[in-house]
Every structure is written in structure tokens, then in C-alpha cells.
């Protein structure tokens, strides 16, 4: 670098203002991106429960065709069960219960397990209520709040 009239001719690098602008832009992107990402993760976890619950709903419909009633199942991690389905892979993350109050409808509830290693599922609960007319009502909670 040669000095000419008190300034260097070939100065290279970024000024402090340029670096601060980059830091501010990264901060804004992080502030917007992280909540969106967390929402996507929550929805993906709930979707895994919904897929399992869809299998259970179909099995309940089939059971109803043969027995004219819906069946309660307290523990789907045991095979064989009353529905004769195997959803043990899902029960490592979810506690799934099937309850039928008056045998005209049934409710499938998947609650995130609180065991060690499953902390990211423990705040999520998904419920599907199916009636004989074929209507399914889905409800999802996170930390007790419906979303």
C-alpha cells in the first residue's frame, strides 16, 4: 500500500457500518425465521399423530361394520388388540387412546409422551372425534392452547 496525499490507495475490507448492517439483517431474518420453523416442526409432529389416527379411524369403521358398535382401546402398543392393528411405531412418541362414550361415535386422542428422550412431543395433543355420519372433527393443542 502506498500512501498518497495522506490516504492509502488500496484499502481493502469492510467498514464498521457495513458489518453492522449485515448483523442487523441476519438478526431480522432470525427473528422472523425461527418462529416459522418452530411452527413447521410442531405441525410435522402433529401430522405424524394424524397419520396414525387415520389408521385407527379406518380400523374402527371396519370394526363397526362387523359388530355394529365402536370399541374402546386403552393400549394400542399391545398387538393383538381389539382393532387388530399394529401402530407400535407411533406409540413410541404418542400415547393413543380410543374411547367410545355411547357407541355412536368414538374419540381418538394422541398425547405426546413425556418419557426421557421425547421432550419435544410432550406439549402436543391431537384429538379426532368420528361420528356415524362420517364426520371427523380434529382438534390440536400445544401447551393446552388450541391451534
Model pLDDT for residues 57-99, shown as the tens digit of each residue: 999 999 999 988 898 988 888 888 889 899 988 888 888 999 9
Q: Considering the entire predicted model, what is its pTM?
A: 0.72
How confident is the model at residue 74, as a pLDDT? 86
- Rounded Cα distance between 105 and 129, Å, is 7
How confident is the model at residue 136, as a pLDDT? 93
- Rounded Cα distance between 138 and 59, Å, is 17
> Would you kindly state where each structural domain of the chain is located, as residue ranges?
15-146
CATH class of 15-146: alpha beta
pLDDT of 1 above 60: no
Each residue's pLDDT tens digit, 9-33: 666 788 999 999 999 999 999 999 9
Amino acid at each position: 500500500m502506498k500512501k498518497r496525499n495522506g490516504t492509502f490507495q488500496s484499502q481493502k475490507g469492510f467498514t464498521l457500518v457495513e458489518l453492522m448492517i449485515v448483523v442487523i439483517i441476519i438478526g431480522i431474518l432470525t427473528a422472523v425465521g425461527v418462529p416459522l420453523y418452530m411452527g413447521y416442526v410442531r405441525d410435522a409432529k402433529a401430522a405424524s399423530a394424524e397419520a396414525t389416527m387415520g389408521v385407527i379411524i379406518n380400523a374402527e369403521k371396519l370394526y363397526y361394520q362387523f359388530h355394529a358398535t365402536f370399541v374402546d382401546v386403552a393400549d394400542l402398543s399391545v398387538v393383538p388388540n381389539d382393532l387388530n392393528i399394529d401402530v407400535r411405531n407411533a406409540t413410541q412418541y404418542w400415547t393413543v387412546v380410543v374411547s367410545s362414550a355411547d357407541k355412536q361415535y368414538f374419540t381418538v386422542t394422541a398425547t405426546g409422551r413425556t418419557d426421557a428422550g421425547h421432550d419435544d412431543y410432550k406439549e402436543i395433543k391431537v384429538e379426532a372425534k368420528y361420528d356415524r355420519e362420517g364426520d371427523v372433527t380434529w382438534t390440536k393443542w400445544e401447551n393446552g392452547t388450541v391451534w
